[in-house]
Amino acid sequence: MDTSQNTALLRALTELPGPLPARGVIHIAIRHTDRFTVVGNDLAQHPGLSTTAVGFAVRIQSLPQGTEVGIKVLAARFPEGEKLIAAALRELEAHGYLQRARTRLPNGRIVTRTVFCNQPTALLRPRAAAAPPQLPPVARPITTPAPAPEPTVKPEASPEPDPQPEPQSQPTPDPVATPDPPAPRAAPPQAAAPPQDRAPAAPPFVRLVPPPTAPKPPRPPLPRPRELTPELERVSTALLSDLRHHAPQFTLSEEHVRELVPGVAAWLERDAHPDTIRHTLTTNAPEPVNYPYQFVKHRLTVLLPPPLPGAHDLTPPPARRNPVTPFQTCDGCERAFRAPAPGHCRDCRNEVAYTQAAA
């Protein structure tokens, strides 16, 4: 069965001027007169964009202003899935063709504003301020005042009503040379958004990371003991010299050992065991350790443990107890009642007071 051929395409192919290439693509370019979009080769032949990303870029570029281009809207319109569309939009964002930002409208509604640029590399080029075009001077005609018309006298017996007198032309003054008004500046290609859709002013830029040229804070000094005794110095020197037996990358020179002895002595003064110090200095070290002296000094300074608390610091505070009123025996009826001092109970005191009042 023969393959069907497009006769119109073959006829257009025969009308192409010049010799045709023996292989590869052959273009039949027909000029568009309406409903077309100009796509640059920097997008169509972009080496870092996938074919899906280039296709969606052309789709978005051909849409009118204000058209929704969200992931769900594009997935409902085109056969590609949401994951493929999201990956294509991320590619366009990474190469500067697309920018999405969430903005809050004056009515409180949050919308996604999508900005598409067909040539992002042109935005990085320095652009010179365009001077306003100078308009050529226009010759203005000079007019002279017209002579007043002579009045006409009509007979009184005329039955027709008198016509309205024609208004006399006012003499025009001589024109005064005035400078030409400045030419209006060209409007930007993108139409301004309506007032209700304008995004609020962006907050001022605040740098959270200091620049590389900013002065760095001074490093904390190596800790030192309150008193460097000969015993502390001997143990510290032995511990630093023995590090290379446990980790060969921690081979320290004699001068470096002498400088690091006060830091190890400060750990020993705070009752840190030598095995604990050795484990802290050599565990989870990077591979390789290019500067063992700086590494050991940093860990001795940053990981210094606090002093151990004393016995009085670990003793719990005495419990606060409420005072208890003791029991007393009434001198009259010998009943028990609570009172700070011996005496009579409340009933006996009331009875004595009633007897004295009756007498």
**Measured between alpha carbons, how far is 172 from 175 in angstroms, rounded to an integer?**
8
Over residues 73-126, the pLDDT tens digits come to 888 888 888 999 999 999 998 888 888 888 888 888 888 888 888 888 787 776
Tens digit of pLDDT for each residue in 268-288?
Answer: 999 999 999 999 999 988 888
Average pLDDT, integer, range 303-323: 81
Kindly report, residue by residue over 33-56, the tens digit of the pLDDT: 788 888 888 888 888 889 888 988
pLDDT at 223 over 90: yes
Tell me the sheet residues that pair with 46.
Answer: none
pLDDT band (50, 70, 90) for residue 155: very low
- Taking 90 as the threshold, does the pLDDT of residue 261 lie above it? yes
What residue ranges in the chain does DSSP mark as E strands? 98-104, 110-116, 327-329, 336-338
Report the alpha-carbon distance of residue 269 to residue 202 in Å, rounded. Answer: 56
Lowest model confidence (mean pLDDT) among 39-53, 125-139, 198-212, 321-335:
125-139
245 against 13, higher pLDDT: 245
281: number of Cβ within 10 Å: 24
Nearest Cα neighbor of 297 from 246, 248, 342, 263 is: 263
Taking the C-alpha atoms of residue 191 and residue 202, their distance in angstroms, rounded to an integer, is: 20
Judged by phi (left if over 0) then psi (alpha if -120 to 50, else beta), residue 118 lies in alpha
Instruction: Report pTM.
Output: 0.35
Residue type at position 230: P
More confident residue, 147 or 105: 105
Which residue type is seen at 235? V
Mean pLDDT rounded to a whole number for the chain: 78
pLDDT, one tens digit per residue, over 171-191 is 554 544 445 555 555 555 554
Examine the pLDDT at 219 and tell me if it is beyond 70.
yes
Q: What is the pLDDT of residue 294?
A: 93
Contact 282, 247 (CB under 8 A): yes
Distance CA 263, CA 235 (A): 12
Q: Is 19 exposed, middle or buried (0-12, 13-18, 19+ CB in 10 A)?
A: exposed
d(CA 52, CA 315): 72
Per-residue confidence at 299, pLDDT binned at 50, 70, 90? very high
Per-residue confidence (pLDDT) for residue 132, from 0 to 100: 58
Of 192, 354, 5, the C-alpha closest to 13 is 5
More confidently predicted of 131 and 61: 61
Q: Please, how many CA atoms are within 13 Å of residue 191, restricted to the half-sphere of its CB?
A: 7
User: By mean pLDDT, which of 124-133, 257-266, 347-356 is the weakest?
Assistant: 124-133
Name, of 53-67, 138-152, 201-215, the range with top average pLDDT. 53-67
pLDDT confidence of residue 197:
52
Query: Over pLDDT 90: what percentage of the chain?
Result: 21
Rg (CA), the chain: 50
* Distance (Å, whole) CA 310 – CA 205: 51
